Structure 1
Amino acid sequence: MQRITIAIDDDLAAQLDGFIQESGAANRSEAIRDLVRRGLSARPDGPARASCFGVVSCAIDQSVRNLAARVPQGRLERHDQTVAALSVPLDHTTSVDVTVMRGQVGDIAAYAQALFLERGVMHGALSLIPVAQDESRHVHNHGSPHAHTHLRVKSGF
């Protein structure tokens, strides 16, 4: 771990201390690491071929012609990347949709951008979680050793 020194004004330091109280962070270093990690992972600009999970969320006006059919169809066309999807009605015409996807940054960001440009889609957001895939050999329940892959969440791209 590297040690860095930063200077911030008194008002910003007070806001940071308030964030520490609200979040339960142990100290300023932990809080700043958390905020930096969130800020960097919120940017959909990781390397295009990097592996990640993406959480795509938006509000959808279901009354816009064919939009209620096009959004699920878009997920079906990416069935190999779509992990889970949730649609929650907010009022008589609007739902919030959340889709969890797995793949490469470029593919997931392209899907999200195309969705956000649709007429009737509002408040779109994409969060990326960088992952790596590790292979190891181990035993489950006293069986024989076998190759096994695990995903590991990384702190950045």
Structure 2
Amino acid sequence: MERITISLDEELATAFDALIAERGYRNRSEAVRDLLRRELEAARQRGEADGQCVATLSYLYNHHQRELAERLTGLQHGHHDLTVSTLHAHLDHDHCIECVILRGPSARVRRFAESIMAESGVRHGCLNLISVEVDTAVQPHGHAPAHPHTAEHKHYRPRS
């Protein structure tokens, strides 16, 4: 691990310490590492148009909005290759929240998320996108020793 030293004016240091306490960091180093990872990831995403990602998309909507739930489901089915899983929860008599796990090409995931958040009646949409490296692995496995087979699967490793 490499050690660095930074200087902060008193006001900035006090504000940073308050943030550290609020978020539950054990020390300044962990907080700085997280801030750096976040900024490096944002810079990477701006510079890479064709990279792969995993992402979560969360949004709140009024389920009474005319045909909105059906449109949202239709959009997810239309992008089944990007949609891994969806969690749906009822907040009250009118509002639902959904969290969708996505993976695939970053540009396609971003366009899909934007299309969901642009639907009339969807509010408070938020996309959290993480760049990954994708490795394809072939590993033998089987149900019984007499019938082994190989299966190809992918590993998604965060880039930061």
What is the TM-score when the length of structure 2 is the normalising length? 0.77
**CA RMSD in angstroms, aligned pairs only:** 2.9
Aligned partner of 1:129: which letter? I
Sort the Cα spacing of 1:71 and 1:46 in 2 relative to 1 into closer, same or farther, 3 A: farther
Q: Does the C-alpha gap of structure 1 residues 137 and 76 become closer, same or farther in structure 2, counting only changes over 3 Å?
A: closer
Q: Cα offset for 1:26? A: 4.2
Matched to 1:66, the amino acid is E
In 2, Cα distance between the equivalents of 1:4 and 1:73? 50
Equivalent-residue separation in structure 2 for 1:6 and 1:80 (angstroms)? 45
Kindly provide the amino acid, as one letter, of the partner of residue 150 in structure 1.
Answer: H
List runs of 5+ in structure 2 lacking aligned partners.
none
Deviation at 1:118, TM superposition (A): 1.3
The answer for the alignment partner of 2:158 in structure 1 is: 153
Partner secondary structure for residue 63 of structure 1: coil
Please list every run of 5 or more consecutive structure 1 residues that lacks an aligned counterpart in the other structure.
Answer: none
Residue by residue over 1:12-36, the C-alpha shift from the partner in whole angstroms, topping out at 9 and shown as x without a partner, is: 3123223334545343222111123
Contact map agreement 1:42 1:126 (CA 8 A) in 2: no
TM-score, length of structure 1 as denominator length: 0.79
d(CA) in 2 for partners of 1:69 and 1:39? 37
Aligned length: 152
The match for 1:89 is: 90
- Displacement after TM superposition at 1:51 (Å): 0.6
Q: Amino acid of the residue matched to residue 115 of structure 1? A: I
Q: Separation in 1 of the partners of 2:106 and 2:7? A: 33
Aligned-pair identity (%): 38
* Structure-2 change in CA distance of 1:148 and 1:13 (3 Å): same
Whichever residue aligns with residue 84 of structure 1, its letter is S
Letter in 2 for 1:88: A
- 1:88 and 1:97 in contact (8 A); partners too: yes
2:99 and 2:47 map into 1 onto residues whose CA distance is 21
CA displacement, residues 67-125 of structure 1 (integer Å, 9 cap, x when unaligned): 01011111111111111101111111111111000001100110111111111111111
